[in-house]
Structure 1
Amino acid sequence: MSVLIVIPARYASTRYPGKPLVELRGASGQARTLIERSWRAACKVAGVARVVVATDDARIRDTATAFGAEVVMTSSECRNGTERCAEAHAALGGGHDIVVNLQGDAPLTPHWFIEALVDGLAADPAAEIATPVLRCEGAMLAALRADRAAGRVGGTTAVFGATGHALYFSKEVVPYTGCDYPDAAPTPVFHHVGVYAYRPAALAAYPGWPVGPLETLEGLEQLRFLENGRAVACVEVEARGRQFWELNNPSDVPRIESMMAEMGLD
């Protein structure tokens, strides 16, 4: 089984322009850009044939090639990371059994999340895409709620059925629980980890599907699969003591740096 990891990265983010080139300091104080940290995370994944950065921006290309990444230039017309992955896979000539989209705003993504994701998609022939979900403990749920109360998007939550296939994804905290939980207690809320594994046929079809109302309202690319009746497998992953957070806003930089320091990550 041939697995390709694509790291889509664009400079012109609406919420955080230039985000891939933001520097994060690790436990020793070493500063590395977000795109480099995402690439380093991808390179730790076992069983991967190739890792590429896909971008439409020369600044990101130059930064990525300088630290040793392979770069595929893609169109500025790509509307999201999935479309950029589809274009990159086509530009490389296809030929991979699974394409992984490791979005460049999640440098804390552990390699075992992606390994479990690939295994989960391979084991579920009914699914055309798979994505990891992490059960929230009370502290993480409280952080998600606090961000929403402050008008920030701190993460995405996922709801799935008995088969493990997604019912919905939202930037709101769903499902509603109506109660608080101790910091270390498991909750019924699942944090969606922004990584995807696609079967190539579904990935190639995706850019041709219309953008539906749910994707428009939520700004979540994976909802296009659900709106077009495609099965999305939610693969539950284990934190194993690792803290996880995505870089969505400038205020997330010190939060992620603090997590890296606590976990001794450089």
Structure 2
Amino acid sequence: MSVLIVVPARYASTRYPGKPLVALTGADGVARTLIRRSWEAAMAVRGADRVVVATDDDRIREHAMGFGAEVVMTSEDCRNGTERCAEAHEVLGGGFDIVVNLQGDAPLTPAWFVEDLVAGLSADPGAEIATPVLRCEGAMRDSLLEDRRNGRVGGTTAVFGAGGRGLYFSKEVIPYCGRDYAPDEMTPVFHHVGVYAYRPAALAAYPGWQIGPLEALEGLEQLRFLENGRNVLCVEVEARGRQFWELNNPEDVPRLEAMMAGMGMA
């Protein structure tokens, strides 16, 4: 089964313009850009047949080519990473069995998250898109709640039913639990990891669908699949001692750098 990994990146982020070119300093004291670190995370995935950076910005293109990435130029009209992945797959001529979207703001994504995701989608013929979820310990749930109390857009949470079928994704912390949890206690809350694996037919159809009310309210691209009746598979992954966070806001930079230092990541 052939696998394409696309790392979508755009310069004109609403919340954080120029985000892909922001430098993150690792445990070795060396600064590398967000897009480079995300590409390196994609390159570490076993079983991928091709890895490309997809962008509409010449600054990102030139920088990515400078560190050895293959770059696919896409339209400025792409409204999110999924649409950019769809266009990149088309530009490359299609032909892949699974297309993975490893977003350019997720440099801490462990390779096994993506490997487990591809395996999960491959084993479930009824699923058209798959995405990883990570069960939160109490400390992580508290961090998500603290972000919301302070008006920050932090991580996304997911709820799913039988067979891992996705029911909803939200920037609020769901489900409501009604009690506190110890820092190392497992909770019923699942952090949604912003990586996706698509079957090509569903990915190709996606840009033609209208943005629905839930996607518009939450600002979450995966809700378009649910609003159009498509089966989204949530694949539970294990942290294995690794910390995970996406870079959503400028204040996330020191958080990611602290995580990298704590894990000894260069």
Q: Which residue of 1 aligns with 2:82?
A: 82
Give the count of matched residue pairs.
266
- TM-superposition CA deviations, 1:171-217 (whole Å, max 9, x none): 00000112111111100000000000000000000000111000000
Which residue is 1:214 aligned to?
A: 214
Q: Where does the alignment leave 5 or more consecutive residues of structure 2 unmatched?
A: none
Return the alpha-carbon distance in structure 1 between the equivalents of residues 224 and 90 of structure 2: 20
- d(CA) in 2 for partners of 1:148 and 1:179? 17
SS state of the match for residue 255, structure 2? helix
| Residue identity in the other structure for 2:3 | V
1:67-146 to structure 2, matched below 5 A, reads 67-146=67-146
CA shift at 1:232, angstroms?
A: 0.1
Q: Secondary structure at the match of 2:162?
A: coil
Unaligned runs of 5+ in 1: none
**How far apart, in 2, do the equivalents of 1:128 and 1:245 lie?**
25
Runs (4+) of structure 1 moved beyond 6 Å? none
Q: Tell me by how many angstroms 1:33 deviates.
A: 0.1
SS of match in other structure, 1:13: coil
Residue type matched to 1:148 in 2?
R
| Paired position in structure 2 for 1:228 | 228
Letter in 1 for 2:73: M
The SS at the match of 2:226 is: helix
Q: What is the TM-score normalised by the length of structure 1?
A: 1.00
| 2:41 alignment partner in structure 1 | 41
Identity over aligned pairs, percent = 79
Matched letter for residue 98 of structure 1? I
In the alignment, residue 175 of structure 1 is paired with which amino acid? Answer: P
Shift of 1:10: 0.2
- 1:157 partner SS: strand
Aligned match of 1:259: 259
Matches within 5 A, 1:144-155: 144-155=144-155
- Once residues 177 and 105 of structure 1 are traced to their aligned partners in structure 2, the CA distance between those partners, rounded to angstroms, is 29
Q: Give distance in 2, aligned partners of 1:180 and 1:263.
A: 27
- How far the C-alpha of 1:162 sits from its partner, in A, is 1.5
1:235 Cα offset (Å):
0.1
Separation of aligned partners in 2, 1:185 and 1:103: 29
Instruction: Supply the AA of the counterpart residue of 2:23.
Output: E
Aligned partner of 1:203 in structure 2 is 203
Counterpart Cα distance in 2 of 1:115 and 1:163: 19
Q: 2:158 maps to what in 1?
A: 158
Deviations 1:208-227 (A, max 9, x none): 01110000000000000000
Equivalent AA in structure 1 for residue 195 of structure 2: V
Q: CA deviation at 1:248?
A: 0.3
Show the counterpart of 1:17. Answer: 17
What corresponds to 1:61 in structure 2?
A: 61
Let me know the Cα RMSD of the aligned residues.
0.4
- Using the alignment, how far apart are the partners of 2:187 and 2:29 within structure 1? 34
* Structure 2 letter corresponding to 1:103: Q
SS in structure 2 of the partner of residue 163 of structure 1: helix
- 2:164 is paired with a residue of what secondary structure? coil
Residues 65-97 of structure 1, C-alpha deviations (whole Å, 9 max, x = no match): 000000000000000000000000000000100
For 1:244, the aligned partner's letter is F
